[in-house]
Amino acid sequence: MLKAILFDLDNTLIDFSGFKRESALAAAKAMRKAGVKESEKAIYSRIFEAYERFGIEYRSTFTEVLRSLGVEDRNLFEHARQAAIIAYTKKKYELIKPRQKAIRTLSALRSRYKLGIVTDAPKDKAWQRLILAGLDHLFYPVVTFSDTEAKKPSPAPFLRALELLKVMPKEALFVGDMLERDIIGAKKAGMITCLAKYGCHDFSEEENVADYTIEKFEDIHEVINSLE
């Protein structure tokens, strides 16, 4: 019997990749406007190089970018850094916003199941995104990287969430967009798995080991119906 549904956050419930792309573009534009003598494209590439090197949640990305571009003038450095931070933040508010369809779907599920989050994001960023997306009242628990310090596919964060819910792994469905982290990790924890294909950027049918696959978020209802 299905008792709980746990979700990944980034690219499963919110369009994280789109936000990262758009915010990097806006930050590159702002740095150039502040006086950095590089093309927007070159600055944009540096931003993603920093993410590649230090992780997508890196907190000193723009400092790193300006350093890597050899910006030595302290005045220009800070002007460009703050312009980038503000442009990035504005995009965050613009792009991560409540989506009524998703909120309706989740609210309907919440009347029948326990809903939780298991994410590799740090806790402050995860909560900011949930609040901006209008999803912060729908989930308990929200297990973040900060809680177990183990990243998916470690079963640890999944098991932490199940333990807090007092639910057995086989009574819980996990929905996530990454095969190698979400699906493999949830399987290791013994959960039923569902791949959010709409969030995958390198989907491969042969490698798809998920029990269920959904093309769009609302398709979750069909998965639940077949489980019931």
Contacts with Mg ion, residue ranges (CB under 5 A): 8, 10-11, 177
Nearer to Mg ion (CB atom), residue 113 or residue 174: 174
Q: How far is the CB of 8 from Mg ion (least distance, A)?
A: 4
Q: How many whole angstroms separate alpha carbon 63 and alpha carbon 82?
A: 10
Nearer to Mg ion (CB atom), residue 42 or residue 56: 56
DSSP H or E segment with residue 190? none
Q: How far is the CB of 4 from Mg ion (least distance, A)?
A: 19
CA atoms within 13 A of residue 190's CA, in its CB half-sphere: 11
Q: How many whole angstroms separate alpha carbon 82 and alpha carbon 72?
A: 15
Nearer to Mg ion (CB atom), residue 11 or residue 144: 11
Q: How far is the CB of 181 from Mg ion (least distance, A)?
A: 7
* Contact between 143 and 136 (Cβ < 8 Å): no
| Nearest alpha carbon to residue 195 among 153, 170, 110, 186 | 186
Nearer to Mg ion (CB atom), residue 8 or residue 40: 8
Q: How far is the CB of 72 from Mg ion (least distance, A)?
A: 38
Q: For residue 118, how far is the Cα from the chain centroid?
A: 10
